[in-house]
Homo-oligomer: A and B are copies of this chain.
């Protein structure tokens, strides 16, 4: 695209919107040479003065006025019925209209998912979209999905998540053959819930030509044992927030350790000249803020509702990477492979695929 990429933003979604959205966008643009344009959807009277504060941002932005927004506590079904014309609706619709390549919102997660499904529709072969999160690991990032879209999952849905997540990781991280694991409470096949065991059997039977590693456990996520971690939205959401909480607790401990005594302060000062800053950046959840919706005909990124400008800027960086990547075509290739196996079981491992839904 010669005119550069266009990001469509729900400027009114999130606890600190629209300030965090506009300031986040300005932060995101800083030092970026590539031409990117931004569409802000929301209350123009509020947005115009905020955008005007940042001349660089102003030059590449357009405000699309609406005075309707989706309530943070609205039920998804309600949101779909009542949200036509809201900032969230319009932000997603801009993708369908071909005006933008990716939409970003820090608003109500359930509503954003429901609206995205209605407007963009799911890719053929996908029962329910999933949210994928990037998770810090010793070398680079792991991908964890689902982290909140689907509280109850069938084995067939978990197989789809594996297919979606593998394509996502290859597109975003450039790993040719990402390894995939299924989150469980034990590595032995006899452990875990029936759904997980059935999903494991289903992946193996499907013969997906995927580097599937079987069951992994909670401590494997941060260890980076596999590139892609597949789980239901309840477990994934709890795991993600638990990790964030643990990192926050440890950061607080570090802070108090480094301000406890004069000696400690001197030590911390020396460290700050070196690697401490990087360590803090690595531990900051704002630097991995952004869940990507997988399985839709388009790219939608969900920022944490409570994030600030820095966290929102990270979501925009992820959105840009996604829009730039071969993500949608990778997903299509994987889904076509899954469909081929389902239509013609002999194409896979030779075992007929049973769907237990």
Contacts and interface: CB of A to CB of B under 8 A. Distances in A.
A196 to B, nearest CB: 8
A134 to B, nearest CB: 14
Nearest to A250: B250
A45 interface: no
Contact of A249 (B185, B192, B223, B239): B223
Interface stretch (A10-18, A115-123, A259-267, A332-340): A259-267
Interface string A168-196: 00000000000000010100101111100
B217 A238 contact: yes
Contact of A270 (B73, B242, B267, B278): B267
Interface of A: 73, 75, 110, 136-138, 148, 151-152, 183, 185, 188, 190-194, 217-223, 231, 233-235, 237-250, 252-254, 256-258, 260-261, 263-264, 266-276, 278-279, 282-283
A234 B192 contact: yes
A188 to B, nearest CB: 5
Contacts of A268: 267, 271
A256 B279 CA distance: 9
Contacts of A270: 263-264, 266-267, 270
B267 A241 contact: no
A239 B218 contact: yes
A70 to B, nearest CB: 14
A260 B273 CA distance: 11
A251 to B, nearest CB: 8
B240 A218 contact: yes
The residue in A217, A237, A261, A270 that gathers the most chain B C-beta atoms within 10 A of its C-beta is A270
A185 B250 contact: no
Contacts of A185: 148, 151, 233-234, 237-238
Given A238-B217, A250-B283, A188 B73 contact: yes
